[in-house]
Amino acid sequence: MYQKQLELNMPALTARLYELYGSRWDFYQILARLEAIMKKAAAERKSGYLFEADEDALSSENGTPWYLNQKTVGMMLYVDLFADNLLGLIEKIPYLKDLGVNYVHLMPLFDCPKGENDGGYAISSYRKVQPRLGTIEDLKAVAAEFHKNGIRLVLDFVFNHTSDEHEWAKKARKGDPKFKSFYYMYKEKSEVDSWNATLREIFPTVRRGSFTYLKESDEWVWTTFNSFQWDLNYSNPEVFLAMCEEMLFIANLGVDVLRLDALAFVWKEKGTVCESLPKAHTVIQAFQYVASIACPSLQFKSEAIVHPDEVIKYINGSECHLSYNPLQMALFWSTVATRDTRLLSVSLKNRWSVPKNCAWVNYIRCHDDIGWTFSDEDAGWLGINGFDHRKFLNRFFTGRFEGTFASGEPFQLNPTTGDCRICGTMASLAGLEQAENLNNEELRRMAISRMKMMYAVQFALPGVPLLYAGDEKAVFNDYSYRKVASKKEDSRWVHRIKTDWSGKSECKSQKIVADFVKKVIALRKEEPGLGGSDIFFYDIQDSHVFAFRRGTIHVVANFSDSPAEFMIDAWSENSTDLLTGRNFWNHQKQLLAPYEVRWLKEKIEN
């Protein structure tokens, strides 16, 4: 298997590496070293689940991939918040199976600094699990038990940066020239300023600019995100080779999918914004060809929270077959705030299409904040000012707009521009927290309907529907993070919540939502028409309604708290709503109650 994959993919890999490092005198030595790394990793996959997964991936290349099967349903979770530790996670497998989840993304679990560590995204060692979670052997045990139970394992590959406590960073601090060249380190402030002149500030409340001053060595190090996250220098081939070893080590633990964290930032060129540069794609393609040779079943998932035109560029057979869908996520929230589906409808119609055998990972909430990554061009076409609309959304979801139902927290508020991102659980942002706090039955009914509608639309879209642990139970924000020194400056902890397995704190409205989530997952799994990638978006008839068709299933959703109407374009006279079992006549406008959604499957008579 290895030799065949090597012969098939090595020419493309060599071409990518030549683009990056071809001017070096030792280019062919770099290739030889990389081939030895890949051969060693492949030899470790010659039996068991990984061997079978590789064989299956290669034998079914022309079929429908598993992530386009309607039975694939995902969840992302923090091990400690969900199950205390890795061995405890094994005990929660029955819960996952009962819910219908068979794709589980474990939030960062590799060793990281104590205290502030960006939720684990500051890696101190790619080969050691955080001691409080367990060991590498425990992680292997989780992978084995997941696979026995038909669950695929997803982990993060944090490859743009390491923590400042990583062995490489420690050696760089001590002046080791080899490891100083693993990072971007400069003595001259003028050099730092020349880079900063064109860079976007990602975390403006942490530090202005993209560099951190190291007092002990009187120099500056590139830190795009937090000051303890040092950006790796991929213009140095030693970094690429070292990170290939780390990637293949992680893959061989039993991992099915790697989420490529912050992939847009991995290549730097002076005078540019250093985001989504052409050679960033080259680096990712090189990693993809390494994986295709050494671990053919491994899939990459893109995490590019950038302009929609840039997001789509990472989704292809040479980079990432899977990608988060930040546009769908952001516009779901935008639409429930405005009750106007035009921006959602136009944007997804224009920007949904992905290459064959690729798929979106559709989500409503995740571990991270909500950034308003819609296209200003799409908004402008509808007469919407993008800047003003983002200001409105920030006010709406942080409770600063009259009549809002949302209970959210601002994240990384930029003191200069007033821009921020939004944190909170789905239930809190969708109004259920407010309804329960006010004990208002009408607000409660609307919030429940709003959440059910959003879930029903998410689970009808092509791709992988992804839940964020806790949202399936409609949990509310946890504001206790404000009292914890290591968390109080990071409002994302408001939705990073310890799972309450006792159920004692669950209220009736949360139980209604939880039951619906379980129901809609089961319905999706039973309906082959919701598999595959085909989708047709309807033109706007009523600005309250978002609608699309999957084969002979028409999904119509009222995103507002007012009645609406819509007429589907169906071949047959009648259809059945898969969500309720009710029958409808197709050749007249259908009246939709506030937040009502229907999965209308045509009754085709032979």
Task: Give me the active site residues, please.
Answer: 261, 303
The Cα 271–Cα 281 span in angstroms is 18
Write out the DSSP string of 312-346: GGGBSTTSBSEEE-HHHHHHHHHHHHH---HHHHH
CA dist 74 → 156, 457, 464, 481, 508 (Å): 15, 15, 7, 27, 25
- Per DSSP, the three-state class of 578 is coil
Write out the DSSP string of 146-196: HHHTT-EEEEEEE-SEEETTSHHHHHHHTT-HHHHTTB-EES-HHHHHHHH
Burial of 565 (0-12, 13-18, 19+ CB in 10 A): middle
How many Cβ atoms from other residues are within 10 Å of residue 585's Cβ? 10
Q: What tokens does 319 get?
A: 């980079």
Residues with Cβ < 8 Å from 211, sequence gap 6 or more? Answer: 186, 192, 195, 196, 220, 221, 222, 223
Q: Which long-range contacts (CB under 8 A, 24 or more apart) does 353-356 make?
A: 354/312, 354/315, 354/323, 354/533, 355/315, 355/316, 355/317, 356/533
- 3-state SS record for 283-311: HHHHHHHHHHHHCCCCEEEECCCCCHHHH
- 3-state SS record for 341-375: CHHHHHHHHHHCCCCCCCEEEEECCCCCCECCCCC
Nearest Cα residue to 559 out of 589, 509, 599, 596: 596
Query: What 8-state DSSP symbol labels residue 550?
Result: E
Rounded to a whole number of angstroms, the distance between the first and last alpha carbons of the chain is 47
The Cα 292–Cα 271 span in angstroms is 34
